[in-house]
């Protein structure tokens, strides 16, 4: 599925099942909430914290998909074509960071 297809599928779901989009502000708050849930899993799986018994069933992929879902909603609501935005972002990084990371001693092993 492309980003464009994902945006269309989210929009279709919202229009047929979700009744309407939450406000942009509500969705921004929900995005932060979902990122927090993802961060909790990352801190426990890859960091120094351990899972509580009630957290053992948490699914990293599902939490990433939740973050993407809300981001797709916000893109739809604000008229952002994420495919175009990502392509522009790659171009920006290509130009800005062409040698930056190669010259970073912190990244050398």
The CATH number of residue 17's host domain is: 1.10.287.1080
Confidence check: pLDDT of 42 > 90: yes
Do the domain assignments include residue 16? yes
Closest Cα partner for 27 from 77, 62, 63?
Answer: 77
Question: Domain range spanning residue 68?
Answer: 3-82
The mean pLDDT value of the chain amounts to 94
Q: Is the per-residue pLDDT at 66 higher than 90?
A: yes
Q: How confident is the model at residue 102 (pLDDT cuts 50, 70, 90)?
A: confident
> Tell me: the pLDDT tens digits for 67-93?
999 999 999 999 999 999 999 999 999
Asked if residue 69 lies in contact with residue 75, where contact means CB atoms within 8 angstroms, the answer is no
What pLDDT does residue 43 have? 94
Q: Is residue 31 part of a domain?
A: yes
What six digits make up the tokens of 41? 């899993």
Burial 3-25 (b: 16+ CB within 10 A, else e): beebbeebbeebeeeeeebbeee
The answer to whether position 76 is within a domain reads yes
Tell me the pLDDT band of 5, cut-offs 50, 70 and 90. very high
Asked if residue 108 belongs to a domain, the reply is no
The reply to whether 64 falls in a domain is yes
The number of distinct structural domains making up the chain is 1
């Amino acid at each position: 599925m492309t980003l464009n297809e994902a945006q269309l599928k989210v929009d279709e779901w919202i229009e047929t099942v979700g009744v309407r989009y939450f406000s942009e502000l509500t969705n921004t708050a929900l995005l932060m909430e979902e990122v927090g849930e993802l961060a909790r899993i990352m801190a426990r799986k890859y960091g120094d914290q351990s899972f509580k018994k009630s957290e053992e069933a948490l699914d990293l992929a599902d939490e990433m998909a939740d973050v993407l879902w809300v981001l797709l909603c916000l893109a739809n609501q604000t008229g952002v074509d994420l495919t175009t935005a990502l392509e522009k972002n790659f171009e920006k990084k290509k130009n800005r960071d062409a040698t930056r990371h190669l010259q970073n001693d912190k990244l050398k092993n």
